[in-house]
Homo-oligomer: A and B are copies of this chain.
Amino acid sequence: MKKVNVAIVGATGAVGTKILEKLLERDFPVQSIKLLASKRSAGTEITAGGHNYIVEETVPESFDGIDIAFFSAGGSISEKFAHEAVKRGAVVIDNTSAFRMTEQIPLVVPEVNADALNGHAGIISNPNCSTIQMVTALQPIREKLGLNRIIVSTYQAVSGAGSEAIDELENQSNQFTKRSEIKAEILPSASAERHYPIAFNAIPQIDSFDSSGYTLEELKMMNETKKIFGDPELSVSATCVRLPVVTGHSESVYIEVGQDGVTVKELHDLLTNAPGVVVQDDPSKQLYPMPLFAEGKDEVFVGRIRKDPEHPAGFHLWIVSDNLLKGAALNSVQIAETLLT
**B310–A149 CB distance below 8 A:** yes
Chain B binder among A64-72, A109-117, A204-212? A204-212
Using a CB-CB cutoff of 8 Å, which residues 173-227 of chain A contact chain B?
173-174, 176-177, 188, 192-194, 196-197, 200-205, 209, 212-214, 222
**B291–A202 CB distance below 8 A:** yes
Tell me the minimal C-beta distance from A293 to chain B in angstroms: 8
| Main DSSP-derived SS at the A contact region | mixed
Tell me the minimal C-beta distance from A327 to chain B in angstroms: 16
Q: A213-B264, A237-B308, A309-B212 are in contact. Are A286 and B194 (CB under 8 A)?
A: yes
Task: Choose among B177, B193, B237, B307 the residue that contacts A286 (Cβ–Cβ < 8 A).
Answer: B193
Tell me the minimal C-beta distance from A132 to chain B in angstroms: 19
Q: Judge whether A99 is part of the interface by a CB distance below 8 angstroms.
A: no
**B288–A205 CB distance below 8 A:** yes
Which residues of B are found within 8 Å of A305, using beta-carbon distances? 213
**A310–B236 CB distance below 8 A:** yes
- Bound-state CA distance A286–B188 (Å) is 9
Q: A209-B283, A264-B213, A284-B209 are in contact. Are A204 and B291 (CB under 8 A)?
A: no
Using a CB-CB cutoff of 8 Å, which residues 225-260 of chain A contact chain B?
235-237, 239, 241, 243-246, 250, 252, 254
Task: Choose among B153, B196, B292 the residue that contacts A290 (Cβ–Cβ < 8 A).
Answer: B196
- Bound-state CA distance A153–B241 (Å) is 11
- Bound-state CA distance A155–B154 (Å) is 10
Which residues of B are found within 8 Å of A153, using beta-carbon distances? 153, 239, 252
**B204–A318 CB distance below 8 A:** yes
Using a CB-CB cutoff of 8 Å, which residues 263-311 of chain A contact chain B?
264, 283-286, 288-292, 303-311
Which residues of B are found within 8 Å of A252, using beta-carbon distances? 153, 204, 239, 241, 252
Q: Judge whether A151 is part of the interface by a CB distance below 8 angstroms.
A: yes
Task: Choose among B201, B212, B286 the residue that contacts A245 (Cβ–Cβ < 8 A).
Answer: B201
Tell me the minimal C-beta distance from A59 to chain B in angstroms: 37
Q: Judge whether A106 is part of the interface by a CB distance below 8 angstroms.
A: no
**B213–A306 CB distance below 8 A:** yes
Task: Choose among B244, B286, B308 the residue that contacts A244 (Cβ–Cβ < 8 A).
Answer: B244
Task: Choose among B193, B284, B310 the residue that contacts A237 (Cβ–Cβ < 8 A).
Answer: B310
Q: Judge whether A22 is part of the interface by a CB distance below 8 angstroms.
A: no
Which residues of B are found within 8 Å of A151, using beta-carbon distances? 151, 254
A residues at B contact (CB < 8 Å): 149, 151, 153, 155, 169-170, 173-174, 176-177, 188, 192-194, 196-197, 200-205, 209, 212-214, 222, 235-237, 239, 241, 243-246, 250, 252, 254, 264, 283-286, 288-292, 303-311, 314, 316, 318
16 contacting pairs across A/B (C-beta < 8 A): A153-B252, A155-B155, A155-B241, A155-B243, A173-B176, A194-B285, A205-B288, A209-B286, A213-B304, A214-B306, A235-B310, A237-B309, A237-B310, A243-B243, A244-B244, A252-B252
Known pairs A151-B151, A153-B252, A204-B250; list 8 more (Cβ under 8 Å).
A200-B292, A202-B250, A204-B288, A209-B284, A235-B310, A239-B254, A241-B250, A244-B245
